[in-house]
Chains A and B, each alone.
Chain A
Amino acid sequence: VGVLTFAMEGAHPHDIASILDGEGICIRAGHHCAQPLHARLGVQSSARASFGPYTTEAEVRALAAAVLRVREIFG
């Protein structure tokens, strides 16, 4: 399945999503209609990137670079 759910120390998923949005990348953030799973995993919320057959390697690299940008902002 082409989804990658992730969390980052010190950065809230909605902040991650907004910063990635500023870089032209759309992800989902929050509970993803799976609140019981988040409760079970003990996390407040998560960020989620999806990949499709049309996703290019350049787009994946752009995501990786944007995630590093989030890391820079939140230290």
Chain B
Amino acid sequence: MATMNELYQGIIIEHDRSPRNFRTLDAPTHSGEGRNPLCGDEMSLQLVVDAEGIITDVGFQGRGCAVSKASSSMMTVAIKGKTVAEATELFEQFHALLTGKDADRSALGKLVAFEGLGAYPMRVKCATMGWHVLKESLDHK
């Protein structure tokens, strides 16, 4: 189990400093917003889903802690090119990882960097914020 300070190294800090897909899309097919009033974090997500149900483009904007920003950034990288069903399944696996359940580690790839957060329930919300917005975007269009 990684300690909290080990989490603040490597890939999480790197994605916090240089978030991927941190932009607004011109013609999204799906979008959603999330906020956590306890910490003041805000996040908006936009997606382009094609006729085959493949997420062809994704962008996010917002402000939040390093964990939420890095997690959202890594989520956009992970879901781009996947089908909606695959992205939804990936969220299930990510959630399982953070809540100490059996997770498909090979499917999660780099997302396993967040595993140590499981010991900090208060911070699990930070790491799943982007994913909850994703789910809501896909559900409500």
Contacts and interface: CB of A to CB of B under 8 A. Distances in A.
B120 A30 contact: no
Nearest to B17: A75
A49 B67 CA distance: 21
B78 interface: no
A21 B67 CA distance: 15
A29 to B, nearest CB: 7
A30 B8 contact: no
A18 B39 contact: no
For chain A, what secondary structure do more than half of its interface residues adopt (helix, strand, loop), or is it mixed?
A: helix
Given A13-B39, A29-B39, A45-B40, A18 B64 contact: no
B19 to A, nearest CB: 13
Interface of B: 3-5, 7-9, 13, 17, 37-41, 63-67, 120, 123, 126
Q: Which 10 A-B pairs have the closest CB atoms?
A: A12-B65, A22-B4, A22-B5, A44-B40, A45-B40, A14-B65, A15-B66, A30-B39, A15-B65, A73-B8
